[in-house]
Amino acid sequence: MQLTLFRDKMAYPIYLTIGNIPKHICQKVSHQAHMLIGYIPVTKLTSISNKAACRCALANLFHMCMHTALGPISLYGETRVDMMSGDGIWQRCHPIFAIFIGDYPEQALVTCTYYGRCPKCTVAPGQLGENLSSPLRMQRDVLDTYLLSDGDFYAFHHACHEAGMKPIYHLFWEMLLLTDIFHLITPDILHQLLQGMVKHLITWLISIFGATAIDSQCQAVPPNHKTLLFTKGITTLSHISGHEHKKMCVILLSLIVNQLVPGGLDPSHIVRAVCALMDFLFLASYKSHTSNTISLMQDHLTQFHDNKAVFFDLRVQKHFNIPKLHGLSHYESSIQLFGTTDNYNTEQSECLHIDLAKDAYCATNHKEEYSQMMKWLECQEKVYHYSAFVNWRQQWGHELSSPAQIAIGPPGAYMLTVKMA
């Protein structure tokens, strides 16, 4: 993520949360249900002239950093660790790496799959745009390949090439118990749908109907409750956020109804494709699901695939081998395994960037900023802990008579901070 606009300062934070925190608490950044566990070094390794070798070195650096950060999980997952819950009761806990939340480049980096392939299944690169179901990747099938990393260099690289995996030394997830990294990759509405397929769809519609027609329809949209009006149109906007794309989806279908297609072609397939993708997006964003809603979501995805050829016929898209389009086929299984998509949407981590990275960087003198950022964040956490304790004591009518009384306060006063320890 970018820390500044002009000085090219970047940060790569790692966030951690636990799965038993209620959704209404976990989704609010102010409740601090997520914690920052470190920053991965951001470097371009300009000393390595070969681009392929540089990318391989950066991937190995990432896995080594994640190995260091998540090493205790492997140890305590097997032996257990005693933790105190918010009600003051000690629990025997076996922490397990449950899911990984990230966009597509990070998913490919974590699973060691090549860019342009699915990080979850074995679909062929040329069939990403087809509505097909392929066998899922299995971690046990690739671990034998990575056990050769300490042996002969050429044999290891050849084995990785045969398996279709990147040659990475000592993956961070090879030590984790009860973990299959390919199953733990979750959908991401922000990057797959809003900043992915919706962005592609808007580009296709502008190419078909023209910027003038789309913008004139935007200006003709009447004011309505919870509807964002784009009075200057949408074709000239740049750096569009996920929130703005979400607002565009509300009016997108109205922008193309009764529009004339060049050449006098039938616009019904375009309307059906747009309607199907919008229905899939809205269903995928549900706060709760049933078997009927999941089945309906798959029906809309099938409808989009049945009508997507119109964009190829109109020559606005050359192919549909888009990894983000293929990723929509895994929403059904992920929702059945891990719950609704708001549990693992990256919109929360984007909000965390403001509090745990950008604000922390602004508090430094911009020289050796990482150590200053960590000290500033530690100070902010102590202030939050103290405020939570004071509020708890005031709630129960106790008086703060001395600092010693604060130090020996009841265990339950620390609420979520104890659960995240």
- Give Dmax (Cα) for the chain: 82
Residue with tokens 């949407």: 345
Helix and strand counts by DSSP (H, E) for the chain = 18, 4
Tokens found for residue 24: 């209404």
Neighbours of 247 (CB within 10 A): 18
Q: What is the pLDDT of residue 397?
A: 65
Cα dist. 316→211, 215, 301, 320, 364 in Å?
14, 19, 20, 11, 47
Backbone angles phi, psi at 2, to 5 degrees: -85, 130
Q: What is the pLDDT of residue 421?
A: 32
Half-sphere exposure of 391 (CA within 13 A, CB side): 8
Backbone angles phi, psi at 172, to 5 degrees: -70, -25
Tokens found for residue 249: 């989806």
* Residue 175 identity (one-letter amino acid): M
For the chain, the 3-state helix, strand and coil shares in percent, each to the nearest 5, are 55, 5, 40
Q: What is the pLDDT of residue 7?
A: 66
Question: pTM for the complete prediction?
Answer: 0.87
Q: What is the pLDDT of residue 398?
A: 53
Backbone angles phi, psi at 165, to 5 degrees: -120, 160
Beta bridge partners of 39: 13
Q: What is the pLDDT of residue 389?
A: 86
Cα dist. 415→115, 385, 406 in Å?
42, 9, 15
Q: Which helix (H) or strand (E) holds 114?
A: none
Query: Of the candidates 129, 107, 128, 246, which has an alpha carbon nearest to the alpha carbon of residue 190?
Result: 246
The three-class DSSP label of residue 155 is: helix
Nearest-angstrom CA–CA distance, 377 and 194:
31
Tens of pLDDT, residue by residue, the chain (421 residues): 888 876 678 889 999 998 888 888 888 888 888 989 999 988 888 889 999 899 999 999 999 999 999 988 888 888 888 988 878 899 998 889 999 999 999 999 999 999 999 999 999 988 999 998 899 999 988 988 998 888 888 999 999 988 889 999 989 998 888 889 999 999 999 999 999 999 999 999 999 999 999 999 999 988 888 888 898 899 999 889 999 999 999 999 999 988 888 877 888 999 999 999 999 999 999 999 999 999 999 999 999 999 999 999 999 999 999 999 999 999 999 999 999 999 898 888 888 898 899 999 999 998 888 999 999 999 998 998 898 888 888 887 655 444 444 443 443 333 333 333 3
What does 10-65 look like in DSSP terms, one character per residue? B--EEEE--TTS-HHHHT-GGGT-SEEEEE------TT---HHHHHHHHHHHHHHH
- The total number of residues written for the chain in this structure: 421
Tokens found for residue 361: 């960087």
